[in-house]
Amino acid sequence: MARVLVTEKIASSGLDALRAAGYEVDLALSLSPDELLDRIGGAHAIIIRSATQVTAEVIEAGRDLVVIGRAGIGLDNVDVDAATRQGVMVVNAPQSNVVSAAEHTIALLLAQARNIPQAHSALLDGRWERSHWQGVELAEKTLGIVGFGRIGKLVAERARGLQMRVIAADPFVSADAVRQSGAELVLLKDLMAESDFVTVHLPKNAETTGLIDRSLLSLAKPTMRLINVARGGIVDEHDLAECLKEGIIAGAALDVFAAEPTLDSPLFGLDSVVVTPHLGASTHEAQHKAGTGIVEMVKLALAGEVVPWAVNLSATEVSETVRPFVPLAETLGRIFGSFIERAPSTLTVACEGEIASDDTRIIGLAVTKGILARTRDEPVSYVNAPRLARQQGMSLAMTATTASDNYVNLIRVSDGESHSVAGTLVGRSGEFRVVEINGHGIDMPSADHLVVITNDNRPGVIGRVGTVLGDAEINIDDMDVGRLNTHGSDTAMMVLSTSNPVSDETTAALAQAPGVLSVNVIES
């Protein structure tokens, strides 16, 4: 039974789902770094929030780790590079708090515009200062959104509902995509100069740390107000405090800080500043979504399946069109791997038909994983498969064409020489079909136990194969015979699925049967 270590509080429904799936839940909250090192051994998964530091040392100690699950978005507390080197998948739940974060942004926007917290505190202190806390309207003002991802788009939608003009700066988003959300794409310096309010929605990395500094703030109007509900450290707090004191900008509202938790910031105590203690995701709904969402991701990872929000995969975009083909691709990789003695220098994976219109990188990754699973003693995952392939000198070449002669969709794997395998999905249930092996046209469903036999195309061979399997008390569940896709070929292929595994002894007996040229046994 796989053990899942949970070191921070998540929704109880998420814990229940883990137990219902048969996992051992090790709930150990508020562990010290040393306690975590002691506890991580033997755990197959760890689920955390923002407090637990999953360092390279922790990952090294977690020799059985398959996946690190972050119930939320930010990964500042996870050494993703160390996890990738060890083949450990890192997943998060980026959709869990997007609504809550967007709504908190709007809350701080309104609080800053109308000085609500300051007026509240003054009244509680016995001061009726109606004229002192005069604010500004949001209608007809310009909101600049720095970072136009999921949260940025939701903020734009809500701001437009407040009759604000919305502009955005994001080098990774097209002008058309921004325009579809009712906003206009501009350069960052122009956004700072034009905006009445600026809100930050960027990930924290080497490029964004300290991005909003004095030089950028100096471009702004003196009436501009800044909001940050993204990550602490993107805004230089010391520069921001000085700009507020000097009147370079009018105000700021922050939910995140460079060091957390903190009770000491140059921004604290300034009348023009509204602060909250990292409440962006602190709603009942977001906590529930984060807990249940990350559990589903962890379950997929432990089952060896594709995880939609894995952050350290070389292929993360998996459309609903492509997703059903991923297990097929891995199966084709296993079949292909059974025919080769060493990894090819170039592995070609061709996607044909409708799926070729989508991002199919995950298909190539799945094929690679399937091939390596037969050749490596260590576990092969979607995370470490590219590294292991490079170690074996194998490069991946992907091709895609929407044209497919005989099938709506087809995946073809080849080494460019003598070995190839192709497959598709058929019917409403999406049943696997292997339709070609090494140039032999066949029609065979995938199965746990497959035997692929190349033989002389003459009478009696099939009967002799059946006799060998019968003597070994192995039942044939399904069988298909195909000739080489060359006119007049004297070579044929039979593919059989069997009720139970075929032993080495039986495999040797099959290989010695008259007319049999080669035998490959493929176990899932």
Per cent of the chain over pLDDT 70 is 98
pLDDT range class, residue 315, cuts 50, 70, 90: low
Q: What is the pLDDT of residue 417?
A: 80
pLDDT digits (tens, 9 = 90+) for 131-153: 999 999 999 999 999 999 889 99
Q: Which residue has the higher pLDDT, 186 or 13?
A: 186
Residue of 39, 49, 225, 231 marked active site? 231
Tell me how far apart the alpha carbons of residues 233 and 192 are, in angstroms, rounded to a whole number.
18
Q: Is the pLDDT of residue 405 over 90?
A: no
Nearest to 200 by CA among 175, 172, 231, 221: 231
**Helix H or strand E encompassing 361:** helix 361-373
Tokens of 185: 């794409």
The residue from 49, 165, 278, 440 that is catalytic is 278
**Of 85, 201, 96, 100, nearest in space to 143 by CA:** 201
Instruction: State the average pLDDT over residues 8-25.
Output: 93
What CA–CA distance (Å, rounded) separates 260 from 270?
Answer: 19
Residue 237 catalytic?
no
Query: Distance of CA 29 to CAs 5, 96, 202, 223, 240, Å?
Result: 10, 21, 29, 45, 36
Q: How confident is the model over 64-107, as pLDDT tens digits?
A: 999 999 998 878 899 998 998 888 999 998 888 899 999 999 99
For the question of residue 231 being annotated catalytic, the response is yes
Please give the pLDDT value at position 246. 98
Average pLDDT score over the chain:
91
Query: Do 297 and 309 form a contact (C-beta atoms < 8 A)?
Result: yes
Q: For residue range 383-402, list pLDDT tens digits in order.
A: 888 888 887 888 999 999 98
Instruction: Please identify which of the residues 260, 305, 317, 523 carries the catalytic annotation.
Output: 260
- Dist CA 103 CA 53 (whole Å): 28
- Cα–Cα distance for residue pair 318/249, rounded to 1 Å: 43
What are the tokens at 457? Answer: 């195309």
By the 8 A CB rule, do 97 and 290 touch?
A: yes
Provide the pLDDT for residue 485. Answer: 61
pLDDT of 42 strictly over 90: yes
pLDDT in tens, 497-511: 999 899 999 999 999
- Write the Ramachandran bin of 30: left for phi over 0, alpha for psi from -120 to 50, otherwise beta: left
- Residues listed for the chain: 524
The per-residue pLDDT for range 233-253, each reduced to its tens digit, is 999 999 999 999 999 999 999
**Domains of the chain in sequence order:** 3-95+285-303 (3.40.50.720), 97-275 (3.40.50.720), 316-433 (3.30.1330.90), 439-523 (3.30.70.260)
Q: What is the pLDDT of residue 487?
A: 56
pLDDT of residue 383: 82
Neighbours of 325 (CB within 10 A): 27
Q: Are strands 89-92 and 165-169 parallel, antiparallel or unpaired?
A: unpaired
User: Which of 248, 312, 238, 309 is CA-nearest to residue 85?
Assistant: 312
278 is catalytic: yes
CA 302/CA 288 separation, integer angstroms: 21
pLDDT of residue 27: 96
Tell me: pLDDT of 314 over 60: yes
The pLDDT value recorded for residue 374 is 74
Res 8: pLDDT = 95
pLDDT digits (tens, 9 = 90+) for 326-363: 999 999 999 998 888 777 889 999 999 989 988 898 99
Q: Which two three-digit tokens encode residue 297?
A: 């991701």
Q: 292 falls in which pLDDT band (50, 70, 90)? A: very high
User: Regarding predicted confidence, which is higher, 23 or 403?
Assistant: 23
* Residue closest to 518 by CA, chosen among 373, 342, 341: 341
10: closest CA among 300, 280, 288? Answer: 288
